[in-house]
Structure formats: C-alpha cells, structure tokens
C-alpha cells in the first residue's frame, strides 16, 4: 500500500502543469464513498494509474462536521453545496453553489445516478434536506431553472398522486424531454430534462456508459455560452458497493468513473476546471498484499459497511486547480468554488 500510495502521490502528479487563473467552466464529480484505498484497488484491477492520478493538484478534505456526527450524504452535500456548517447568519438562507453559479449567468447542470429527488441532488439544488416527499421535490424542479437535469426518478414526475404530468409542464417551460440514453447522443442548446429510469440508475455493467454519455451531452449542450457552465456529476454507486461490501460492484463503479474522467479530460478545453472528490470514505477498505498483480482482482478486506472518519481525496485539473491543494474541511470546498465562480473572466 505504501508503494501504491507513493506512486499516486509522486511528483509527476503534484504541482506540474498547473493553469493559473479562474475557470470559465467548472465540472465537479462527487464519487461518494471513495477513499485512497478504493483508488489503489481500482488501479490494480485496471493495471494502470487511474485518469485523475495525473491531475496536477491533490488535496484532502475533512469529511466529518464539527458536531461530531458520522459523515453522510446529507451532511457532505450541505457542506459542499451550501457551506451550511460555517453559515452563522440565522436571518438569511445560505445560497447553494448552484445559486452562486446562476447569479454569475452560468449555465447549470446536474447528472446523478440517484433519482433526482435523492439526498445529494436535492441538497445541492435546493438546500432542503428535511423534505422527504419525492413528489414534492420533483415539483420543486419546475422552479429550479437548471439547464440540464439527468438522472433517475421519472415516476415522481409522471406517475403522481396528484395526477399531474410534470414532463408536460417542463415542455411548456421550453425544456426538451428525453427518456432514453440514445436520445443524449446529439447535444441541444435548449434546456433538457432526461430521467432515464423510474427510480435510480442501474449499476455500471448495466447502464451502458451512462455517466460518460450524459456528461458529454451536458458539456456540448452548454458549451459556447458567454457565461460558461457549472456541472455537478454525482455518483452514489461507489458508496452503495461499500455498504454491501461488494468488491466486484466497487470495481465496476471505480473503473466507470475512471472512464468518465478520462473522457472529460480529453473533451475539456483550457478554460475548464475539473474536480474529483470522494466526499468521504466508506467501508473501511483495506488492500492487502495477497494479490498485487496488475489487472487482477485485488485482495480486499472490508472493515465496515458505513462511512469512516478517513480524509477524503480531492483531485483538480484546470484553471484554479491550485486552490484545492493541501488539507481543509469539506465546507472549504464550497468557499473555494464560490471564489472561483466570482473571479471568472
């Protein structure tokens, strides 16, 4: 493990080719549950370094809040999405990171493997962790003004207790309505909502490059706008594999994220910041010495089915990437992003 960690943290992936300044476009990938040992295990499985190991900046964030609670999707989303843990003005509602982007005239997009009414999507978009009613949350999206909404949860939009078909209402607001992955092959300048499953999106081996195709659609659809774009890609499936202690599922998901990031790096221009964060480590994953051969199944021991207190890795590439070096709290990620959004050209 020490050897693997030293390879990942070698000088070729730290401090080299850093682009100074503020980005025009920002892409955040939240790989919930991913720790450094997840990366080491997936590197063994792939037989090579993962794509974000080549990012010029690496940092580590503290995933636990000051109140001592265990890391969770809702707490991390509040920290990164709203800076709520460090927001002390009780008389005002904290702005989400999407709010800040929209104020700066950026296009905004959300891609998730959850239903779009899930914990992390709803927190980033609405700062509303207390609302449990999926149909009420689906209704909130009508006023969200997001440009791209891609994920699961269609049943909360068109098979509702109140009889409303929200897709028809989105269409009246000028949105394109997509219901299949193949429909995302061609980008569109119009706003788009694409909910491809009734509930969550399937595991990597069954979803046919969903994350990569959705990300390319979003990037190309929002590219060229004078204000740039802000895109969040949320993958909850790594944490799902952790909670099940399911090693084959974990390898699927990690290598799928690797393919996504590799494609984004190839497609993004010099004006785009890409940040990959694990949010928190889950599963207490240990990679042992029993099988260290490249392209083989790593020898893994699980020590938990819940999030742990390990530091969460953060990788960054593009203008502003240097902001993510070092050690900091999860809430500082919000502040770093907010500063870059405000400084954009």
Residue 67 belongs to domain with CATH number:
3.40.720.10
Residue 78 in domain? yes
**Least confidently predicted of 9-18, 37-46, 200-209:** 9-18
Residues near 110 by Cβ (< 8 Å), separated by ≥ 6?
Answer: 98, 116, 121, 124, 125, 146, 148, 149, 150, 151, 231, 232, 234
Whether residue 123 is predicted with pLDDT greater than 80 in this model: the reply is: no
| Within a domain: 23 | no
pLDDT band at 7 (very low <50, low <70, confident <90, very high): very low
Report the distance separating Cα 22 and Cα 19, nearest Å. 9
Q: What is the mean pLDDT of residues 7-34?
A: 70
Classify residue 304: in a domain, yes or no. Answer: yes
Q: Is 24 exposed, middle or buried (CB count within 10 Å of its CB: 0-12, 13-18, 19+)?
A: buried
* Domain assignment of residue 40, yes or no: yes
Domain total of the chain: 1
**Does the pLDDT at position 2 exceed 50?**
no
Tell me how far apart the alpha carbons of residues 44 and 37 are, in angstroms, rounded to a whole number: 11
Average pLDDT, the chain: 85
Domain membership of residue 257 (yes or no) is: yes
Q: Taking CA 330 as the corner, what is the angle to CA 328 and CA 335, rounded to the nearest 5 degrees?
A: 80
pLDDT of 62 > 60? The answer is yes
Quick one: how far is CA 301 from the chain centroid? Answer: 26
Domain limits for position 132: 31-343
In a domain, 154, yes or no: yes
Tell whether the model's pLDDT for residue 203 goes beyond 80: yes
**Percent of the chain, pLDDT > 70?**
83
Predicted model pTM: 0.89
Tell whether 259 is covered by a domain.
yes
Nearest to 33 by CA among 243, 238, 315: 238
Residue 93 belongs to some domain of the structure: yes
pLDDT of residue 39: 94
pLDDT on residue 13: 41
């Amino acid at each position: 493990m020490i050897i693997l960690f030293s390879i990942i943290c070698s000088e070729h992936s730290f401090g080299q080719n850093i682009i100074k300044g503020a980005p025009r476009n920002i892409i955040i990938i939240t790989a919930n549950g991913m720790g450094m040992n997840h990366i080491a295990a997936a590197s063994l499985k792939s037989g090579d370094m993962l794509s974000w190991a080549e990012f010029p900046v690496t940092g580590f964030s503290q995933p636990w809040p000051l109140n001592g609670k265990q890391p969770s999707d809702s707490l991390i989303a509040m920290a990164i999405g709203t800076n709520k843990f460090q927001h002390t003005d009780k008389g005002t509602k904290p702005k989400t990171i999407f709010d800040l982007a929209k104020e700066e005239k950026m296009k905004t997009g959300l891609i998730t493997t959850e239903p779009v009414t899930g914990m992390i999507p709803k927190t980033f978009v609405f700062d509303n962790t207390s609302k449990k009613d999926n149909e009420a949350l689906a209704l909130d999206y009508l006023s969200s003004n997001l440009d791209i909404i891609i994920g699961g949860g269609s049943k909360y939009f068109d098979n509702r207790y109140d009889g409303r078909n929200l897709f028809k209402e989105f269409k009246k607001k000028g949105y394109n309505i997509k219901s299949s992955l193949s429909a995302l092959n061609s980008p569109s300048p119009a706003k788009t909502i694409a909910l491809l499953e009734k509930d969550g999106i399937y595991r990597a081996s069954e979803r046919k490059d969903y994350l990569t195709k959705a990300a390319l659609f979003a990037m190309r659809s929002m590219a060229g706008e004078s204000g740039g774009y802000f895109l969040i890609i949320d993958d909850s499936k790594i944490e799902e594999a952790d909670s099940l202690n399911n090693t084959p599922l974990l390898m699927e998901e990690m290598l799928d994220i690797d393919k996504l990031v590799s494609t984004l790096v190839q497609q993004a221009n010099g004006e785009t910041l890409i940040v990959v964060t694990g949010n928190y480590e889950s599963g207490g994953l240990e990679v042992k010495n029993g099988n260290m051969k490249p392209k083989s199944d790593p020898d893994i021991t699980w020590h938990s089915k819940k999030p742990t207190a390990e530091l969460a890795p953060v990788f960054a590439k593009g203008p502003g990437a240097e902001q993510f070096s070092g050690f900091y709290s999860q809430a500082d990620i919000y502040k770093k992003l907010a500063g870059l959004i405000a400084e954009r050209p």
